[in-house]
Amino acid sequence: MATKSRANPELRRTVTPWGSFSWGYSDVGADIFVGLGLVLAAAAGASNVAFLFAGVVYVCIGLAYTELAATYPVAGGGQYFVMRGLGDIFGFIAGWAVLLDFTIDVTLFAWTSVDYSSQLLPSLTNSIHPWVHFVAVFALVMGLCLLNVVGVRESTAFNGVVSALDVLSESLILCLGFLFAFRPSLLIHAMQFSWPSPYQLMLGTSLAIISFVGLESISQAAQETQRPASIIPRTSVALILTILIFALAYSNLALGMQPWHPITDAHGHHLAFWQMFPNSPDNQGKAVALLAAQVPYYGALAALYVPVLGAILLLISSNSGVFGSSRIAYAMSSSNLLPAIFQRVHRRFRTPAISIVFFSSIAVIELVFAAVPGLFPAAASFYARFFRGENGLDFLADLYAFGAATSYSFVFLGLIGLRLTDPLSPRKFKIPLNIPMRFRGERVEFPIVAVIGFVGIFSILLFTLRTHVLGRIFGPSWLLLGVLLYLAYRRYRRLPVLQSRQRDWRNEQTEILRRSGELELMDEYLANLKESDQRRAAGSSGA
């Protein structure tokens, strides 16, 4: 028996409540460092409105992921939920969109990590030394790839320390900023006289969703979390409220701290409205550090450590992209959605080295495309003509917003599908506002919040396609390429191409609950199955 146990190892369940929170915060908490400057530059006086709309959608997303991760505590996140709720091909599309986000995650957060570092090391500034900036980002991506291949990744303890420091730091910035620097009259003035056009508001809203991407990290860690059905709801709700408060508070504080003056480039596009940072895309990538430096009595100290703390948190999030992409690819390969090569484990390091190297290479390609306008002036004129002058940070943000909106749209549909097709699984946490009804002889609860969330995130997806030139070109192209590869792979393996493979979801769910230590829920699930089977048998005999 001991030999069998060693041959089939299971993930260690060592993630505590704070570990679960910090695991998610290391991903989603870093997003405000990236998203704040982008949204301020696009939506100006309506930045708080853009964050509010995206925040409402984010709450719906958070509630959906909380229910799904607590009900199905397995690695794989949204891809698994969609595959189980809608079928293989939709699970692949959702997972492929998440993979796009993870590869962008690697490059975008490494890029902005260098941007925050440039606040203290001006030689890393992209517009002044583009080659130095490019080499620094490239070195970070390659270094993270190598670290993940040999099996080194950020520990939960280190995540917890950095997350705690960042929560404390951001809370201090907000408290002292609102206490000593915030002027309601400036907020009202900015909203009245710097209100953006409908196009710019859609652009800002599509970028605001960037500040809320990463909550699925908690669901991906569900298979390593102690008593996930109990812990995940608490940590997810805490993370939802923390990030929502920070995003709304920062956008209002920024509007009410300094006067605003609209500035446009030669093409009529807004580069910056805020007097606090000059007309430069470089400063959009480090807005939190610039804002913190302006806080009275505290700014001198914040100017020294916030860039360092931000750079570290962003680097951790970039590393999560490397690790997460390999984990999603491994899970999709295990479900016959991707070729088996992505399941191969390095003999020495026992890591999915091929997946890590492959998707890190995709991140490098994205980095090169993003950096080309700064590195080669001739290419800059081409971008200005065909892509409305979007810079490297814009390109990465475009694809990040597209991937997030696409994957979250499918997650809402997956939640609805699972509520209808799997009503017998115990849901220790259930999102509110449900309509009781009967479906295929079973009592189900139709989730209204999922519909609201889907409408909201699908609107953001349409905003992204409308306002992001590169996003509507490369985002759908990525999905189309993935679907073609999926169809070819399934045909080659003689698997159902448009249909799903037959799976015994009942036994799988029982095993999931057993492995997670949720024995009470497992017994409840088995009792539900028995009662349902007896009811169906009685109905058949009566007929």
The predicted-structure confidence for 460-489, as pLDDT tens digits, reads as follows 999 999 988 878 888 999 999 999 999 999
Position 7 in a domain: no
pLDDT-derived band at 171, boundaries 50, 70, 90: very high
Q: What is the pLDDT of residues 177-221, one digit of tens each?
A: 999 999 999 899 889 888 888 998 999 999 999 888 776 665 555
| Together in a domain, 461 and 528 | no
Q: What is the CATH number of the domain that holds 460?
A: 1.20.1740.10
For the CA atoms of 141, 145, 148, 153, the dihedral, rounded to the nearest 10 degrees, stands at -10
| Together in a domain, 259 and 194 | yes
First to last CA, the chain: 48
Q: Sign (positive/negative) of CA torsion 274, 276, 277, 278? A: positive
pLDDT-derived band at 272, boundaries 50, 70, 90: very low
| Together in a domain, 124 and 251 | yes
Number of domains, the chain: 2
| Together in a domain, 260 and 146 | yes
- What per-residue confidence (pLDDT) applies to 339? 92
| Together in a domain, 512 and 497 | no
Position 2 in a domain: no
Position 38 in a domain: yes
Q: Which domain holds residue 535?
A: 508-542
Over the chain, what is the mean pLDDT?
83
Give the C-alpha separation, 410 to 205, whole Å: 20
| Together in a domain, 439 and 523 | no
Contact 111, 337 (CB under 8 A): no
Window from 82-91, 95-104, 389-398, 490-499 with minimum mean pLDDT: 389-398
Q: What is the pLDDT of residues 519-533, one digit of tens each?
A: 888 999 999 999 998
Q: How many CB atoms lie within 10 A of CB 257?
A: 22
Position 4 in a domain: no
| Together in a domain, 56 and 86 | yes
- 393-396: which pairs have CB atoms within 8 A and are 24 or more residues apart? 393/38, 393/108, 393/111, 393/112, 393/281, 393/284, 393/285, 394/38, 394/281, 394/468, 394/470, 395/366, 395/369, 395/370, 395/470, 396/104, 396/107, 396/108, 396/111, 396/366, 396/370
| Together in a domain, 161 and 275 | yes
Position 28 in a domain: yes
| Together in a domain, 325 and 440 | yes
- What per-residue confidence (pLDDT) applies to 543? 55
pTM, two decimal places: 0.87
| Together in a domain, 328 and 300 | yes
Dihedral-angle region of residue 389 (phi above 0 means left; psi in -120 to 50 means alpha; beta otherwise): left
Q: What's the DSSP call for residue 443?
A: E
Contact 51, 211 (CB under 8 A): yes
Residue 436 has pLDDT above 60, yes or no: yes
| Together in a domain, 237 and 215 | yes
